[in-house]
Amino acid sequence: METWNYIEYAAWGLSALFGLYMVIDWFKIDTTYSEDVLTSSREGELEAMTEQHKV
Amino acid sequence: MAEVDITSKTMDGMGPHGTKVGLLRVLGPAHVWALGVGIVLVGEYMGWNFAVGKGGAYAALIACWFAGILYTCVAMIDSEVTSTVAAAGGQYTQAKHIVGPLMAFNVGLYLVFAYTMLEAANAITAGYLFSVVATMSGYEGTLDQRPFIILVIMFLAWLNYRGVLATLTFNLVITAIAFVAILVLFVSTSGLVGAGIMQHAALMEGAASLPYGWIGVLAAMHFGLWYYLGIEGTTQAAEEVRSPARALPFGTLAGIMTLLIAATLTWYICSGVLPWEFLGDGVNGSVAPLFDTARLSGSNGLIWLLGFGTLFATLASANGCINDASRAWFAMGRDKYLPGWFGAVHPKYRTPYRAIIFLVPIALIFALGAPLDQVITFSILSGLLEYTFMPLNIIMFRKKWPLNTIKRGYEHPFHPLPAIVLLSLCGITFFAVFLGYGTQLVAMIGFYIVVSLWFHFWRYRFVNRGAQFTMPWPKPQGY
């Protein structure tokens, strides 16, 4: 086994870790918060708060 | 409402219209610059040189500057509209407010395809770069590129998942290094410091000046886009910048100026050292022209610097593409152009986490299963369709909401000249693409016609029409 073979295995391992992190966190968030909260984002917030569009 | 402190940590992103969790407003102009330039700069490190193969070095320079005009128009128009329509989704949101739902649906898909394909192309390139490093370090076997391709996509998706500030600060650092590397290579090889190695006169005399005549110049326009493709991505940060009216025009216009400089320097450096036949063959000849020029300079320092520059530019591009594709997908989900499930925001990291995760397997499928040139072509064509929409968009924007009716962060000069120039250059580029990739062009337009029919006859009934127009604008003129 050469160094680059170990690096290949490390790349597979790290990829799996990053993927697992996202999937586990995704599951945790979706089971902790209601869909109403998670999908409550609406566009135009800053506009409505700071810009009155009067020139 | 004007007294609401938008910098408050408890209120930020939680405003009217029932928003409980929104995207985080933490970005400044430098992040906008890093997003736009970060996506594009890889095109200077590789890809643009296919334009040399189409028509020689002079043709690539003409394409560089004409594409530069095209993208300057794009940047100016984008700066005006997005500093006013400051919401995630960029051109999709612009189309929704200014043109109509069918245009918005199409533009949203152009964006997602252009960025996801580009992300896949970058991951393929990163895998290739790792194999080159392995060979240069003395490895005699054949490196399996797949784990590196997957790692690039997974790591950057994870970074995007965890928060936009870290994501774009990372982009800022690696993009700045990649840009400085080009400047250092120019200073070191052009003769400004020490002896230069440029041989423009010898390499571009006689038949080498325009080997395929003026039709070659036209054909070069296709890959001329590669110098700047993606600068319009700055608009996707609109909902996450602290001050859209200031940061978006500033970041976008500084970005296009940076790219005009980087593109011209790149052409000058590479065409002065590499023969056009070698430079123009991006598959069997010069895959990474700036890196090849550094190798010919004989300086180990330059080889390392440009090696890292190439890798960083590739990573920055993939990173920015994940950011942009996920914002466009998220915005379409939020308006129910796609299932509303995609319109979710992570309550802790404040990112469109479901959109980010959903696009990972799609990028992986293209990165592992599709040839690079097809992936790049699909990305370019989707981008070109998007640029064709922009002149129509700005003309309608100025007509429906003239300058004295709503406040803009930036007003682009000489309207409608930039729109007309942009539309004309898009027409020329479509013809150039047709010359080389006619089948793909027709297939892709067929694809968008089919999905448009699907949207019109089926999906539109689910669109959240009431929440579609949330900007506190006056009624458009004539309505």
CB contact under 8 A, A44 and B472: yes
- Whether residue B476 is contained in a domain is answered as no
pLDDT value of residue B456: 96
Whether B358 shows a pLDDT value over 50: the answer reads yes
Question: Which of helix, strand or coil describes residue B380?
Answer: helix
Among candidate residues B72, B67, B48, the one with its CA nearest the CA of residue B266? B48
Q: Are B233 and B252 in contact (CB under 8 A)?
A: no
Residue B479: what pLDDT? 80
Q: How confident is the model at residue B3 (pLDDT cuts 50, 70, 90)?
A: very low
Cα Rg of chain A (Å, integer): 22
Contact A39 B150 (CB under 8 A): no
pLDDT score for B400:
92
**Which sign does the torsion angle of CA B361, B363, B366, B368 carry?**
negative
Check residue B160 and give its pLDDT. Answer: 98
B17-21, B79-83, B416-420, range with the lowest pLDDT: B17-21
User: Hey, is the C-beta of B135 within 8 angstroms of any chain A C-beta?
Assistant: no
pLDDT of residue B371: 80
CB B113 within 8 A of CB B367: no
- What number is the average pLDDT over the span B48-52? 93
Which residues is B241 bridged to in the sheet? B27
B475 confidence band (pLDDT: 50, 70, 90)? confident
| Per-residue model confidence as pLDDT tens digits over B394-415 | 999 999 999 988 888 899 999 9
Contact B98, B396 (CB under 8 A): yes
Q: How many residues does chain A have?
A: 55
Q: Which of B370, B340, B397 is nearest to B79 (CA)?
A: B397
- Has residue B149 been placed in a domain? yes
Is residue B11 situated within a structural domain?
A: no
Average pLDDT over residues B214-224: 89
The amino acid sitting at B248 is L
Q: Which residues of B touch A5 (CB under 8 A)?
A: 141
Residue B471 pLDDT greater than 90, yes or no: no
Q: How confident is the model over B52-66, as a mean pLDDT?
A: 94
pLDDT tens sequence across B103-136: 999 999 999 999 999 999 999 999 999 999 999 8
Interchain CB distance below 8 Å, A11 and B474: no
Average pLDDT over residues A32-37: 94
CB pairs under 8 A between A and B: 154
Q: Could you list the residue range(s) of the whole structural domain that residue B78 is in? A: 47-462
pLDDT of res. B320: 98
Tell me: pLDDT of B376 over 50: yes
Q: What would the two tokens of residue B427 be? A: 């027409």
Identify whether B17 is part of a domain. Answer: no
ipTM of the complex: 0.88
B405 touches chain A (CB under 8 A): yes
Q: Does A44 touch chain B (CB under 8 A)?
A: yes
Cβ(B74)–Cβ(B422) below 8 Å: yes
CA distances from B469 to A53, B164, B435 (A): 15, 25, 41
Mean pLDDT of B222-248: 91
Per-residue pLDDT band at B476 (split at 50, 70, 90):
confident
Spatial distance between the Cα atoms of B259 and B36, rounded to a whole number of angstroms? 10
B359, part of any domain: yes
In a domain, B21, yes or no: no
Taking chain A, what is the end-to-end CA distance rounded to the nearest angstrom?
70
Residue B477 has a pLDDT of 87
Amino acid at B349: Y
Q: Decide if B35 is inside a domain.
A: no
Structure-block tokens of residue B140: 């005699």
Kindly state the average pLDDT of the residues B37-45.
Answer: 96
* Nearest neighbour of A21 by CB, restricted to B19, B158, B343: B158
* CB A26 within 8 Å of CB A33: no
Cβ–Cβ below 8 Å for A52 and B472: yes
Domain count, chain B: 1
Helix (H, G, I), strand (E, B), or coil: what is residue B7? coil
Tell me the per-residue pLDDT of B175-193, one tens digit each, with 9 for 90 and over. Answer: 999 999 999 999 999 988 8
Cβ atoms of residues B21 and B345 within 8 Å: yes
pLDDT tens figures, A4-28: 999 999 999 999 999 999 999 999 9
How high is the mean pLDDT of chain A? 84
Does residue A25 belong to the interface with chain B, where contact is any CB pair within 8 Å? yes
Q: How confident is the model at residue B209 (pLDDT cuts 50, 70, 90)?
A: confident
What confidence tier does B437 reach under pLDDT thresholds 50, 70, 90?
A: confident
Q: What is the pLDDT of residue B86?
A: 83
CATH of the domain at B147: 1.20.1740.10
pLDDT at B10: 47
pLDDT higher than 50, residue B13: no
Residue in the structure block whose two tokens are 């330059």: B302
